[in-house]
């Protein structure tokens, strides 16, 4: 099945699900479940009550999932229904830094009609737990059904780029980012402005300027200030002989 046909089928499923729910919106937040006023609190020292209120493993697992902008957006298009009621579906495709990302979603940045007439969206997905070794970028896609398009353009952002669709009956795309570190362990690292080592083939070198934006390079004498995880940030560790000994998407 071609990517366009697959995206169209996904769009139809999304439109059907939203129509069955009785409405379509740009952004929906599930309301918090009200707490019954007459709910009895467990008595002090009641072991059964304490056990009932303990979080379940599934709840803990849900709390650890993280939704983040994907690494890059590669295309944006508009799919339209041919039957009443008139519906349009914004479809975006992108790339993630590794396998394991899922639940691609288009999230509006603003509410209502923007002053410049451009609908601003972010392509996000649920990131995998733990670090990932560099490899091939993985494709991801998302759709956003809307009842009408009172906009003159649609802009979709990612962690590293933006694609703007100015023709709402057309298609816009961006060149997929290069992947010079997939894999790059064992290759010689060439810092910005430095000369390439003599006798080393081009295919055995990784130049710093070719690495993805925000790449963190750790030389043997470098300290480290930030241990926060970021699956869109590549960390490259260089040994004393100038070779890359490890690389991870954090």
Here the CATH number for the domain that contains residue 209 is 3.30.10
Domain hosting residue 240, numbered range? 188-249
Q: Kindly state whether residue 30 falls inside one of the protein's structural domains.
A: no
Q: What is the pLDDT along the chain (250 residues), one digit of tens a residue?
A: 444 444 544 444 444 444 333 333 443 333 344 444 444 444 444 444 444 444 444 444 444 557 999 999 999 999 988 888 888 999 999 999 999 999 999 999 988 888 899 999 999 999 998 889 999 999 999 999 987 778 899 999 999 999 999 999 889 999 999 999 988 999 999 999 999 999 999 999 999 999 998 999 999 999 998 888 899 999 999 999 999 999 999 9
Question: Is 99 found in the same domain as 193?
Answer: no
Question: Is 192 found in the same domain as 71?
Answer: no
Question: Is 146 found in the same domain as 69?
Answer: yes
Q: What angle do CA 24, 145, 172 make, to 5 degrees?
A: 155
Question: Is 198 found in the same domain as 163?
Answer: no
Please write down the HEC assignment for all residues of 36-105.
CCCCCCCCCCCHHHHHHHCCCHHHHHHHCCEEEECCEEEEEEEEECCCCCCCEEEEEEEEECCCCCEEEE
Cα separation of 57 and 33, whole Å? Answer: 20
Q: Kindly state whether residue 35 falls inside one of the protein's structural domains.
A: no
Which residue from 87, 154, 76, 145 is spatially nearest to 114, judged by alpha carbons?
Answer: 154
The domain total for the chain is 2
Question: Is 166 found in the same domain as 106?
Answer: yes
Domain boundary among 147, 173, 199: 173
């Amino acid at each position: 099945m071609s990517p366009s046909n697959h995206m169209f089928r996904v769009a139809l499923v999304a439109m059907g699900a939203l129509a069955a729910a009785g409405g379509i919106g740009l952004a929906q937040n599930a309301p918090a479940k009200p707490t019954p006023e007459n709910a009895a609190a467990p008595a002090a020292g009641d072991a059964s009550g304490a056990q009932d209120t303990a979080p379940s493993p599934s709840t803990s697992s849900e709390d650890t999932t993280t939704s983040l902008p994907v690494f890059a957006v590669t295309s944006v298009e508009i799919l339209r229904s041919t039957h009443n009621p008139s519906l349009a579906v914004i479809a975006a495709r992108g790339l993630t830094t590794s396998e394991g990302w899922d639940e691609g979603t288009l999230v509006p940045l603003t509410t209502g009609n923007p002053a410049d007439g451009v609908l601003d969206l972010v392509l996000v997905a649920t990131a995998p737990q733990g670090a990932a070794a560099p490899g091939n970028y993985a494709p991801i896609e998302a759709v956003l059904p809307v009842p009408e398009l009172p906009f003159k353009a649609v802009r979709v952002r990612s962690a590293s780029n933006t694609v703007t669709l100015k023709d709402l009956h057309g298609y816009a795309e961006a060149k997929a980012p290069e992947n010079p570190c997939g894999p790059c362990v064992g290759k010689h690292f060439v810092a910005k402005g430095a000369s390439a080592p003599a006798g080393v083939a081009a295919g055995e070198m990784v130049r710093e300027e070719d690495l993805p934006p925000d790449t963190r390079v750790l030389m043997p004498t470098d300290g480290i200030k930030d241990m926060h995880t970021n699956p869109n940030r590549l960390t490259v560790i260089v040994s004393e002989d100038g070779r890359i000994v490890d690389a991870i998407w954090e």
